[in-house]
Amino acid sequence: MNPQKVKNGPNFMQQLNKKKHVDCALSSNSESSDDEVDEIVAIKKDVQKQRFSVSAEAYGQFNKKENFKAKFIPKSKEQSERIKQRMQAGFMFSALNDKEIEIVVGAMEEKIFHKAEYVIKQGEEGNVLYVVDTGELDCFKNYGKGDIFLKTYYPGESFGELALLFQSPRAASIIVKSDKAILWQLDRETFNLIVKEASIKKRQQFENFLENWDLLKEIKDPYDRLKMSDALFEKQFKKGDIILQQGQKSNEIFIVEQGRVGVNKNNQKLFELTKLGDYFGDQSIVAGTVESFTYVAEEEIKLMYIPKKSYSSTLKEIEGTLMKNIQIKYGKYL
Protein backbone atom coordinates (compact mmCIF):
# COMPACT_ATOMS: atom_id res chain seq x y z
CA MET A 1 0.00 0.00 0.00
CA ASN A 2 1.22 3.47 -0.75
CA PRO A 3 2.58 4.88 2.52
CA GLN A 4 1.01 8.24 1.84
CA LYS A 5 -2.38 6.72 1.44
CA VAL A 6 -4.99 8.24 3.71
CA LYS A 7 -7.10 5.57 5.32
CA ASN A 8 -10.28 7.33 6.21
CA GLY A 9 -12.26 6.60 3.06
CA PRO A 10 -15.93 5.61 3.14
CA ASN A 11 -16.81 2.26 4.66
CA PHE A 12 -17.77 0.36 1.56
CA MET A 13 -18.79 -2.71 3.55
CA GLN A 14 -21.45 -0.67 5.33
CA GLN A 15 -22.60 0.79 2.05
CA LEU A 16 -22.67 -2.68 0.56
CA ASN A 17 -24.76 -3.92 3.48
CA LYS A 18 -27.22 -1.12 2.89
CA LYS A 19 -27.43 -2.08 -0.77
CA LYS A 20 -27.96 -5.71 0.14
CA HIS A 21 -31.49 -4.95 1.30
CA VAL A 22 -32.27 -3.64 -2.14
CA ASP A 23 -30.75 -6.65 -3.80
CA CYS A 24 -32.60 -9.08 -1.57
CA ALA A 25 -35.82 -7.33 -2.47
CA LEU A 26 -34.93 -7.55 -6.14
CA SER A 27 -34.29 -11.26 -6.05
CA SER A 28 -37.36 -12.15 -3.99
CA ASN A 29 -40.92 -12.05 -5.23
CA SER A 30 -41.75 -9.00 -3.16
CA GLU A 31 -42.88 -5.73 -4.70
CA SER A 32 -40.12 -3.49 -6.07
CA SER A 33 -39.44 -0.10 -4.50
CA ASP A 34 -40.04 3.13 -6.46
CA ASP A 35 -36.32 3.47 -7.23
CA GLU A 36 -36.12 -0.03 -8.59
CA VAL A 37 -39.18 0.54 -10.74
CA ASP A 38 -37.63 3.76 -12.07
CA GLU A 39 -34.52 1.85 -12.95
CA ILE A 40 -36.47 -0.84 -14.76
CA VAL A 41 -38.54 1.75 -16.65
CA ALA A 42 -35.35 3.54 -17.69
CA ILE A 43 -33.98 0.31 -19.06
CA LYS A 44 -37.15 -0.36 -21.03
CA LYS A 45 -37.11 3.12 -22.51
CA ASP A 46 -33.66 2.62 -23.96
CA VAL A 47 -34.82 1.14 -27.25
CA GLN A 48 -32.76 3.11 -29.73
CA LYS A 49 -29.65 1.00 -29.45
CA GLN A 50 -29.37 -2.46 -30.92
CA ARG A 51 -30.29 -5.05 -28.30
CA PHE A 52 -30.87 -8.72 -28.06
CA SER A 53 -33.02 -10.80 -25.76
CA VAL A 54 -31.60 -12.84 -22.97
CA SER A 55 -33.41 -15.82 -21.49
CA ALA A 56 -34.58 -15.49 -17.90
CA GLU A 57 -32.32 -18.08 -16.33
CA ALA A 58 -29.28 -16.23 -17.60
CA TYR A 59 -29.55 -13.61 -14.93
CA GLY A 60 -31.51 -14.95 -11.99
CA GLN A 61 -34.92 -14.57 -10.45
CA PHE A 62 -35.09 -10.81 -10.63
CA ASN A 63 -35.17 -10.95 -14.38
CA LYS A 64 -38.16 -13.26 -14.50
CA LYS A 65 -40.13 -10.10 -13.73
CA GLU A 66 -38.73 -7.97 -16.53
CA ASN A 67 -37.76 -8.75 -20.08
CA PHE A 68 -34.37 -7.09 -19.95
CA LYS A 69 -32.72 -6.81 -23.35
CA ALA A 70 -29.00 -6.48 -22.99
CA LYS A 71 -27.14 -4.01 -25.15
CA PHE A 72 -25.36 -5.83 -27.97
CA ILE A 73 -22.46 -4.34 -29.90
CA PRO A 74 -21.26 -6.57 -32.75
CA LYS A 75 -17.63 -7.64 -32.50
CA SER A 76 -15.20 -9.88 -34.32
CA LYS A 77 -14.56 -13.31 -32.86
CA GLU A 78 -11.06 -12.15 -32.02
CA GLN A 79 -12.34 -9.13 -30.11
CA SER A 80 -14.79 -11.26 -28.13
CA GLU A 81 -12.02 -13.69 -27.22
CA ARG A 82 -9.79 -10.82 -26.12
CA ILE A 83 -12.49 -9.41 -23.87
CA LYS A 84 -13.09 -12.82 -22.32
CA GLN A 85 -9.40 -13.19 -21.71
CA ARG A 86 -9.25 -9.79 -20.04
CA MET A 87 -12.32 -10.55 -17.95
CA GLN A 88 -10.74 -13.77 -16.71
CA ALA A 89 -7.67 -11.93 -15.52
CA GLY A 90 -9.51 -9.73 -13.03
CA PHE A 91 -11.94 -10.08 -10.14
CA MET A 92 -15.03 -8.35 -11.23
CA PHE A 93 -16.41 -11.07 -13.46
CA SER A 94 -15.17 -14.14 -11.63
CA ALA A 95 -18.61 -15.09 -10.33
CA LEU A 96 -20.31 -15.13 -13.75
CA ASN A 97 -21.39 -18.30 -15.55
CA ASP A 98 -20.70 -18.87 -19.27
CA LYS A 99 -24.00 -17.44 -20.40
CA GLU A 100 -23.58 -14.31 -18.33
CA ILE A 101 -20.08 -13.86 -19.73
CA GLU A 102 -21.50 -13.97 -23.28
CA ILE A 103 -24.03 -11.27 -22.41
CA VAL A 104 -21.40 -9.03 -20.86
CA VAL A 105 -19.01 -9.48 -23.78
CA GLY A 106 -21.82 -8.55 -26.17
CA ALA A 107 -22.55 -5.36 -24.24
CA MET A 108 -18.95 -4.14 -24.05
CA GLU A 109 -18.00 -1.12 -26.13
CA GLU A 110 -14.45 -0.25 -27.17
CA LYS A 111 -13.15 3.14 -26.01
CA ILE A 112 -9.75 4.60 -26.84
CA PHE A 113 -8.02 7.17 -24.62
CA HIS A 114 -4.68 8.92 -24.86
CA LYS A 115 -1.90 9.90 -22.44
CA ALA A 116 -2.96 12.22 -19.58
CA GLU A 117 -6.64 11.98 -20.50
CA TYR A 118 -9.11 11.56 -17.63
CA VAL A 119 -11.22 8.44 -18.06
CA ILE A 120 -12.97 9.12 -14.74
CA LYS A 121 -13.05 12.30 -12.66
CA GLN A 122 -13.64 12.07 -8.93
CA GLY A 123 -16.96 13.60 -7.90
CA GLU A 124 -18.63 13.20 -11.26
CA GLU A 125 -21.61 11.01 -11.95
CA GLY A 126 -20.73 7.58 -13.34
CA ASN A 127 -22.72 5.29 -15.58
CA VAL A 128 -20.15 2.82 -16.87
CA LEU A 129 -17.28 0.67 -15.70
CA TYR A 130 -14.14 -0.12 -17.66
CA VAL A 131 -11.95 -3.14 -18.27
CA VAL A 132 -8.39 -2.40 -19.40
CA ASP A 133 -7.53 -4.05 -22.71
CA THR A 134 -4.17 -2.37 -23.39
CA GLY A 135 -2.22 0.40 -21.70
CA GLU A 136 -1.78 1.59 -18.12
CA LEU A 137 -3.82 4.03 -16.08
CA ASP A 138 -3.19 5.73 -12.74
CA CYS A 139 -5.77 6.08 -9.99
CA PHE A 140 -5.70 9.15 -7.72
CA LYS A 141 -7.95 10.11 -4.86
CA ASN A 142 -8.40 13.53 -3.32
CA TYR A 143 -9.23 13.27 0.37
CA GLY A 144 -9.37 17.05 0.65
CA LYS A 145 -5.71 17.99 0.37
CA GLY A 146 -4.87 17.25 -3.23
CA ASP A 147 -4.59 14.07 -5.27
CA ILE A 148 -2.91 11.07 -3.71
CA PHE A 149 -1.69 8.29 -5.98
CA LEU A 150 -3.41 4.99 -5.16
CA LYS A 151 -2.48 2.49 -7.83
CA THR A 152 -1.83 1.74 -11.49
CA TYR A 153 -4.29 -0.31 -13.51
CA TYR A 154 -2.97 -2.87 -16.01
CA PRO A 155 -4.64 -4.98 -18.74
CA GLY A 156 -7.34 -7.25 -17.34
CA GLU A 157 -8.13 -5.03 -14.37
CA SER A 158 -11.39 -3.15 -14.09
CA PHE A 159 -12.42 0.08 -12.41
CA GLY A 160 -15.39 2.37 -12.08
CA GLU A 161 -17.69 -0.17 -10.43
CA LEU A 162 -18.26 1.75 -7.18
CA ALA A 163 -20.44 4.45 -8.71
CA LEU A 164 -22.60 1.67 -10.15
CA LEU A 165 -22.69 -0.49 -7.03
CA PHE A 166 -23.54 2.34 -4.66
CA GLN A 167 -25.08 4.94 -6.97
CA SER A 168 -22.49 7.35 -5.63
CA PRO A 169 -20.28 9.95 -7.34
CA ARG A 170 -16.96 8.67 -8.67
CA ALA A 171 -14.74 7.95 -5.64
CA ALA A 172 -11.40 8.53 -7.40
CA SER A 173 -9.91 9.79 -10.67
CA ILE A 174 -8.41 7.57 -13.36
CA ILE A 175 -5.90 9.07 -15.82
CA VAL A 176 -4.13 7.44 -18.75
CA LYS A 177 -0.46 6.85 -17.98
CA SER A 178 0.69 5.15 -21.19
CA ASP A 179 0.62 6.79 -24.66
CA LYS A 180 -2.69 5.13 -25.40
CA ALA A 181 -5.18 2.94 -23.57
CA ILE A 182 -7.83 0.71 -25.11
CA LEU A 183 -10.66 0.07 -22.68
CA TRP A 184 -13.85 -1.95 -22.79
CA GLN A 185 -16.76 -0.03 -21.39
CA LEU A 186 -19.74 -1.74 -19.76
CA ASP A 187 -23.04 0.09 -19.35
CA ARG A 188 -24.87 0.49 -16.04
CA GLU A 189 -27.89 -1.62 -17.02
CA THR A 190 -25.92 -4.69 -17.99
CA PHE A 191 -23.69 -4.24 -14.97
CA ASN A 192 -26.66 -3.92 -12.63
CA LEU A 193 -28.56 -6.87 -13.97
CA ILE A 194 -25.77 -9.30 -14.76
CA VAL A 195 -22.54 -8.45 -12.97
CA LYS A 196 -23.71 -6.70 -9.85
CA GLU A 197 -25.95 -9.46 -8.62
CA ALA A 198 -23.27 -12.11 -9.02
CA SER A 199 -20.59 -9.87 -7.58
CA ILE A 200 -22.66 -8.88 -4.54
CA LYS A 201 -23.62 -12.49 -3.88
CA LYS A 202 -19.96 -13.41 -3.90
CA ARG A 203 -19.01 -10.52 -1.65
CA GLN A 204 -21.76 -11.44 0.82
CA GLN A 205 -20.57 -15.04 0.88
CA PHE A 206 -17.13 -14.18 2.19
CA GLU A 207 -17.79 -10.84 3.86
CA ASN A 208 -17.98 -12.12 7.42
CA PHE A 209 -14.84 -14.16 7.12
CA LEU A 210 -12.84 -11.34 5.53
CA GLU A 211 -13.94 -8.85 8.19
CA ASN A 212 -12.53 -11.12 10.89
CA TRP A 213 -9.54 -12.79 9.27
CA ASP A 214 -6.55 -11.75 11.42
CA LEU A 215 -4.21 -11.79 8.48
CA LEU A 216 -6.04 -8.92 6.84
CA LYS A 217 -5.88 -6.58 9.81
CA GLU A 218 -3.00 -4.74 8.10
CA ILE A 219 -5.12 -4.01 5.05
CA LYS A 220 -6.76 -0.83 6.23
CA ASP A 221 -8.50 0.32 3.10
CA PRO A 222 -12.00 -1.24 3.12
CA TYR A 223 -11.96 -1.06 -0.68
CA ASP A 224 -9.00 -3.45 -0.80
CA ARG A 225 -10.74 -5.91 1.54
CA LEU A 226 -13.93 -5.69 -0.44
CA LYS A 227 -12.08 -6.61 -3.62
CA MET A 228 -10.55 -9.64 -1.93
CA SER A 229 -13.86 -11.50 -1.88
CA ASP A 230 -13.93 -11.39 -5.67
CA ALA A 231 -10.69 -13.35 -5.70
CA LEU A 232 -11.88 -16.03 -3.25
CA PHE A 233 -13.25 -19.38 -4.34
CA GLU A 234 -14.30 -22.58 -2.58
CA LYS A 235 -13.34 -26.21 -3.04
CA GLN A 236 -14.42 -29.35 -1.18
CA PHE A 237 -12.20 -32.37 -0.54
CA LYS A 238 -12.98 -35.90 0.62
CA LYS A 239 -11.27 -37.68 3.48
CA GLY A 240 -7.83 -38.85 2.36
CA ASP A 241 -7.55 -36.45 -0.60
CA ILE A 242 -4.08 -35.00 -1.09
CA ILE A 243 -4.54 -31.27 -1.50
CA LEU A 244 -0.94 -30.33 -2.05
CA GLN A 245 2.14 -32.50 -2.34
CA GLN A 246 5.57 -31.97 -0.81
CA GLY A 247 8.04 -30.90 -3.52
CA GLN A 248 5.35 -29.38 -5.75
CA LYS A 249 4.42 -25.77 -6.42
CA SER A 250 0.94 -24.67 -5.53
CA ASN A 251 -1.31 -22.66 -7.83
CA GLU A 252 -3.40 -21.42 -4.92
CA ILE A 253 -3.23 -20.17 -1.38
CA PHE A 254 -5.67 -22.44 0.46
CA ILE A 255 -7.56 -21.25 3.52
CA VAL A 256 -9.29 -23.59 5.97
CA GLU A 257 -13.03 -23.01 6.08
CA GLN A 258 -14.27 -26.23 7.63
CA GLY A 259 -12.52 -29.44 8.68
CA ARG A 260 -9.04 -30.70 9.50
CA VAL A 261 -6.02 -30.64 7.19
CA GLY A 262 -3.08 -32.90 8.08
CA VAL A 263 0.41 -31.49 7.47
CA ASN A 264 2.94 -34.22 6.64
CA LYS A 265 6.63 -34.32 5.85
CA ASN A 266 8.35 -37.40 4.46
CA ASN A 267 5.20 -39.45 5.15
CA GLN A 268 5.07 -38.43 8.78
CA LYS A 269 2.27 -36.36 10.17
CA LEU A 270 3.51 -33.25 11.96
CA PHE A 271 0.39 -31.29 12.88
CA GLU A 272 -3.08 -30.31 11.75
CA LEU A 273 -4.60 -27.08 10.47
CA THR A 274 -8.08 -26.78 11.91
CA LYS A 275 -8.84 -23.11 12.53
CA LEU A 276 -10.92 -21.00 10.20
CA GLY A 277 -8.37 -18.84 8.40
CA ASP A 278 -5.39 -21.22 8.71
CA TYR A 279 -3.73 -21.13 5.32
CA PHE A 280 -1.13 -22.96 3.20
CA GLY A 281 0.33 -22.93 -0.29
CA ASP A 282 2.08 -19.74 0.77
CA GLN A 283 5.55 -21.26 0.36
CA SER A 284 4.97 -21.45 -3.40
CA ILE A 285 2.97 -18.30 -3.93
CA VAL A 286 4.65 -15.93 -1.48
CA ALA A 287 8.19 -17.30 -1.16
CA GLY A 288 8.33 -18.84 -4.65
CA THR A 289 9.75 -22.16 -3.40
CA VAL A 290 8.33 -25.66 -3.62
CA GLU A 291 6.11 -26.86 -0.79
CA SER A 292 7.92 -28.53 2.12
CA PHE A 293 4.86 -30.46 3.24
CA THR A 294 2.05 -32.64 1.97
CA TYR A 295 -1.42 -31.46 2.94
CA VAL A 296 -4.11 -34.11 3.34
CA ALA A 297 -7.84 -33.86 4.05
CA GLU A 298 -8.38 -35.67 7.37
CA GLU A 299 -12.14 -35.67 6.88
CA GLU A 300 -14.58 -34.13 4.42
CA ILE A 301 -13.39 -30.53 4.28
CA LYS A 302 -14.17 -27.20 2.71
CA LEU A 303 -11.37 -24.84 1.74
CA MET A 304 -11.35 -21.36 0.34
CA TYR A 305 -8.58 -20.45 -2.06
CA ILE A 306 -7.02 -17.45 -3.76
CA PRO A 307 -5.59 -18.31 -7.21
CA LYS A 308 -1.95 -17.47 -7.80
CA LYS A 309 -2.84 -14.91 -10.49
CA SER A 310 -4.79 -12.89 -7.90
CA TYR A 311 -2.02 -12.80 -5.33
CA SER A 312 -0.40 -9.58 -6.52
CA SER A 313 -3.65 -7.65 -6.45
CA THR A 314 -4.91 -8.97 -3.11
CA LEU A 315 -2.24 -10.03 -0.61
CA LYS A 316 0.97 -8.61 -2.05
CA GLU A 317 0.78 -5.49 0.11
CA ILE A 318 1.13 -7.66 3.23
CA GLU A 319 3.91 -9.76 1.75
CA GLY A 320 6.24 -8.83 4.64
CA THR A 321 3.82 -10.35 7.15
CA LEU A 322 3.24 -13.39 4.98
CA MET A 323 6.99 -14.02 4.72
CA LYS A 324 7.37 -13.63 8.49
CA ASN A 325 4.50 -16.04 9.03
CA ILE A 326 6.18 -18.67 6.85
CA GLN A 327 9.10 -18.65 9.27
CA ILE A 328 6.84 -18.71 12.33
CA LYS A 329 4.58 -21.45 10.97
CA TYR A 330 7.09 -23.80 9.44
CA GLY A 331 10.53 -22.68 10.65
CA LYS A 332 11.07 -25.50 13.12
CA TYR A 333 10.10 -28.18 10.59
CA LEU A 334 12.21 -26.96 7.67
User: Min. distance of Cβ 328 from ligand CMP in angstroms?
Assistant: 30
- For residues 74 and 51, what is the distance between their CA atoms, to the nearest angstrom? 10
Residue 160 interacts with ligand CMP (CB under 6 A)?
A: yes
Q: How far is CA 96 from the centre of its chain?
A: 11
Residue 157 interacts with ligand CMP (CB under 6 A)?
A: no
- For residues 280 and 323, what is the distance between their CA atoms, to the nearest angstrom? 12
Residue 228 interacts with ligand CMP (CB under 6 A)?
A: no
User: Min. distance of Cβ 277 from ligand CMP in angstroms?
Assistant: 24
- For residues 76 and 114, what is the distance between their CA atoms, to the nearest angstrom? 24
- For residues 279 and 266, what is the distance between their CA atoms, to the nearest angstrom? 20
Edge-to-edge strand ranges of the sheet holding 180-187: 109-114, 180-187, 128-134, 158-159
- For residues 116 and 113, what is the distance between their CA atoms, to the nearest angstrom? 9
- For residues 6 and 174, what is the distance between their CA atoms, to the nearest angstrom? 17
Residue 186 interacts with ligand CMP (CB under 6 A)?
A: no
User: Min. distance of Cβ 181 from ligand CMP in angstroms?
Assistant: 15
Q: Which is nearer to ligand CMP, 185 or 258 (CB)?
A: 185
User: Exactly one of 170, 196, 202, 225 binds ligand CMP (CB under 6 A); which one?
Assistant: 170
Site string for ligand CMP, 106-145 (x = CB under 6 A): --------------x-----x------------x-x----
Q: Which is nearer to ligand CMP, 125 or 179 (CB)?
A: 125
Which residue stretches of 136-230 are H helix?
Answer: 162-166, 188-190, 197-212, 222-228
DSSP 298: S
The span of 56-64, 97-105, 167-175, 212-220 binding ligand CMP (CB under 6 A) equals: 167-175
The span of 44-52, 160-168, 189-197, 305-313 binding ligand CMP (CB under 6 A) equals: 160-168
Q: Which is nearer to ligand CMP, 92 or 193 (CB)?
A: 92
- For residues 291 and 246, what is the distance between their CA atoms, to the nearest angstrom? 5
User: Exactly one of 102, 223, 264, 265 binds ligand CMP (CB under 6 A); which one?
Assistant: 223
- For residues 109 and 270, what is the distance between their CA atoms, to the nearest angstrom? 54
Residue 221 interacts with ligand CMP (CB under 6 A)?
A: yes
Binding site for ligand CMP (CB under 6 A): 9, 120, 126, 139, 141, 150, 159-163, 170-172, 174, 221, 223
